[in-house]
Amino acid sequence: MPEPLPRTAWLEKPGVPCEPDPAARARPLRVVLLGAPGVGKGTQAELLTARRRVCQLSTGDVFRAAKAADPCHRSPALEEALGYMQRGELVPDETVIAIVKERVACLRCDGGFLLDGFPRTVAQAQVLDQLLADEGLGLEAVLSYELPTARLVARLGGRRTCSNCKSVYHVEARPPARDGVCDRCGGPLVLRDDDRPEAIMVRMRAYEQSTAPLADYYAARGLLVPIVAEGTPEEIYARAEAALEQRTAAVAAAQR
């Protein structure tokens, strides 16, 4: 798999220049990924990013990068978000929206984008709609990865994340070549705090209450593309690509 694209502008702070991949400019992709915790959305984001050469914009990665950053380099919105997280509280819509607005240049990137972790609520989705409309842009699709809850809980308990490059593995479904060591960068694999048993059910409840209604919102706008998230990562990826190609063809036909 090719090396991940640089996301300096998204991860660090406003004002950092964006350098889109030339290959992505020829075939820009602007999509949102939806799916409950453990559905494999992160793995699919990696595959789409590597093969479409589009930049993955993950709010979760922003928060994790901010934790390790010099406090002097954090914006007020990021400081506020970290405060909520340290108290074990959900980051409110207005704070998340402020963080994304600081990085609106990433949405303008002519190589496209893949939004992962934003929007999480209908209110956030409505703000995203306005941000894109202001830039003369629109979403191509919203890929909704779907799997029964029992399967999701089993997946989460076995997930491991590289502490350096954030690559995601699973002890059974996608193990690294060496136990506990990232294949890509050699960094240590860890069990994230939000993948621990006591946190899993909290995440599931939060998803059902705030994020799941997004499916209805995007379905009403004709953007929702359900993807069955059962099988290997390659099988799931193939379903997503086929669905995107079918949607692109249908939109082109409707415009003739």
Task: Tell me what the pLDDT averaged over the chain comes to.
Answer: 86
Q: Is the pLDDT of residue 174 over 50?
A: yes
CA 212 to chain centre: 15
CA-based torsion, 43, 46, 52, 58: positive or negative: positive
Write down the catalytic residue from 64, 108, 174, 203.
203
Clarify whether 178 is annotated catalytic: no
Clarify whether 159 is annotated catalytic: yes
Q: Is the pLDDT of residue 190 over 60?
A: yes
Write down the catalytic residue from 64, 184, 192, 247.
192
Ordered strands of the 224-228 beta sheet: 55-58, 112-116, 29-35, 141-146, 224-228
Q: Which residue has the higher pLDDT, 184 or 198?
A: 184
Clarify whether 203 is annotated catalytic: yes
Clarify whether 184 is annotated catalytic: no
Question: What pLDDT sits at residue 225?
Answer: 95
Q: How many CB atoms sit inside 10 A of residue 240's CB?
A: 21
The 3-state DSSP composition of the chain as helix, strand, coil percent (nearest 5) reads: 50, 15, 35
What is the residue extent of each domain of the chain? 8-146+223-255
Write down the catalytic residue from 7, 41, 53, 160.
41
Beta strands 224-228 and 141-146, pairing class: parallel
Closest listed residue to residue 96, CA positions, set 112, 120, 74 = 120
Cα atoms found within 13 Å of the Cα of residue 119, Cβ hemisphere only: 25
pTM score of the predicted model: 0.78
Contact, 184 vs 174, CB < 8 A? no
Clarify whether 74 is annotated catalytic: no
Range with lowest mean pLDDT among 182-186, 188-192, 199-203: 199-203
Write down the catalytic residue from 7, 159, 160, 239.
159
Write down the catalytic residue from 13, 103, 120, 239.
120
Q: Which residue has the higher pLDDT, 47 or 150?
A: 47
Cα–Cα distance between 195 and 156 in angstroms, integer?
Answer: 6
- Residue 73 has which token pair? 């380099």
Question: Beta partners for 112?
Answer: 29
The rounded percent of the chain whose pLDDT value lies above 90 is 37
Q: What is the DSSP letter of 27?
A: S
Range with lowest mean pLDDT among 86-90, 96-100, 129-133: 86-90
Phi, psi of 188 (to 5 degrees): -75, 140
Please give the CATH number for the structural domain made up of 8-146+223-255. Answer: 3.40.50.300
